[in-house]
Amino acid sequence: MGKSSIHRKYDGVCFAVTGAAGFLGSNLCNYLLEQGAWVLALDNFLTGQHRNIQDIKSRYPHQFFFADENIIEGIQQWDFFIAKNKLPHPKFLFHLASPASPVDFERLWRETSLANTLGLLKCFDWAEKFDTRVVFASTSEVYGNPAAHPQMEDHLGEVNFHGPRGCYDEAKRLGEALVYQMVNKGAIHGVVRIFNTYGPGMRLTDGRVISSFFQQVYQNNRIVVHGDGHQTRSFCYSRDMVRALLAYAYSGEQSPINLGSVEEVSVLQLAELIAQRFGNWSTTIEFAQRRKDDPQRRRPDLSRARDLLDWTPTTTLIEGLDLTAKYFYDGLKTETARVLHAQPN
């Protein structure tokens, strides 16, 4: 369907996205490009996947401008892209660049800490040239393992900064503090607190609970639950989260707002659902030691998101899992075929 035959909300608008080859970043880029926007993208593939942007590059060669750069070292190529292609000044910069999985924090603790602090400052410096609004992707992890439930934005958090998640949790908290200081000086930036999100584009080995369960079902026909499984989570599908990010960006709000789902399930219920729906009669559920600092309950209060952004998620957990399962299954088939093709006859 041609450009003239469909209404596209973001036609002619330029956006910037760090972490563009990551799970959420690639979903945001793809959505914006479908809507006719120009996108300046950046990633150094520390945890992002080439697979996530290969199709985007081929489908949108005149809308998608990608820089293979480390945000910690600053943004070098975007100015060139703007000048060469006569792009309008970017309206928003979404700073999504950061390792975001517990399996990455130990080996990438330095990069995790710096991406959310020094990298954020680099975003501020670049955005100032174009009067661009920076939206910083913070996290529900700023709440730690709180007694308050559901979590509201005014809760100050109960975080163990000496724990295995400390480099991520505290870097996000400092990032929020930096946004607060910039806003006090008249900047137009803002913060979103993203709760558990899933969907196509995730790494199968990223250690998050949904991707881990799918990996275990497909490769080992079993699921391993850490702890007793009574800890709860609420999972938001990626397309809903993308809509939320854009709603926040355009709202002009500057204080943190929770984004996520209120469909709360226990980890054990999730394991049973994935086993029944995507496993077979012999799929087993096993238990392992609970991970340190694993939150017992996690669900956002979405009152501010509903009132200020007019946003709530619309994709059910079942619907989202079906779409995610296909992505993982197709990826495993492709990888298996690649390995078999590479083997000598």
Angle between helices 209-220 and 267-278 (to 10 degrees): 40
Residue 333: pLDDT band with limits 50, 70, 90: low
Residue 172 to residue 300: CA distance in whole angstroms = 17
Residue 51 to residue 49: CA distance in whole angstroms = 5
- The pLDDT of residue 291 is 86
Side-chain-side CA neighbours of 55 within 13 Å: the count stands at 10
- The pLDDT of residue 157 is 84
- The pLDDT of residue 102 is 86
Chain centre to alpha carbon of residue 3: 29
Q: Measuring CA to CA, how many Å separate 336 from each of 4, 55, 87, 330?
A: 41, 20, 41, 10
Task: For the chain, give the mean pLDDT.
Answer: 92
Q: Terminal CA-to-CA distance of the chain, rounded, Å?
A: 45
Supply the pTM of this predicted model: 0.93
CB 151 within 8 A of CB 301: yes
Cis before 150 (ω within 30):
yes
- The pLDDT of residue 85 is 97
pLDDT at 248 over 90: yes
Residue 158: pLDDT band with limits 50, 70, 90: confident
Would you tell me how many other CB atoms lie within 10 Å of the CB of residue 342?
7
Task: Choose the catalytic residue: 60, 143, 168, 198.
Answer: 168
Residue 62 to residue 38: CA distance in whole angstroms = 8
Supply angle C-alpha 195, 302, 145, rounded to 5.
45
Query: Per residue in 55-106, pLDDT tens?
Result: 999 999 999 999 999 999 999 999 999 999 999 999 999 999 999 988 899 8
Query: Per residue in 40-51, pLDDT tens?
Result: 999 999 999 999
Instruction: Read off the pLDDT of each residue in 195-199 and give the average, rounded to a whole number.
Output: 97
CB 312 within 8 A of CB 306: yes
Token pair recorded at residue 268: 């054990």
Q: Is 168 among the residues known to form the active site?
A: yes
Residue 198 to residue 195: CA distance in whole angstroms = 10
The single residue listed with the structure tokens 């700073």 is: 95
- The pLDDT of residue 148 is 86
Residue 293: pLDDT band with limits 50, 70, 90: confident
DSSP code per residue over 254-303: -S-EEES---EEEHHHHHHHHHHHHS-TT-EEEEEPPPTT--S---B--H
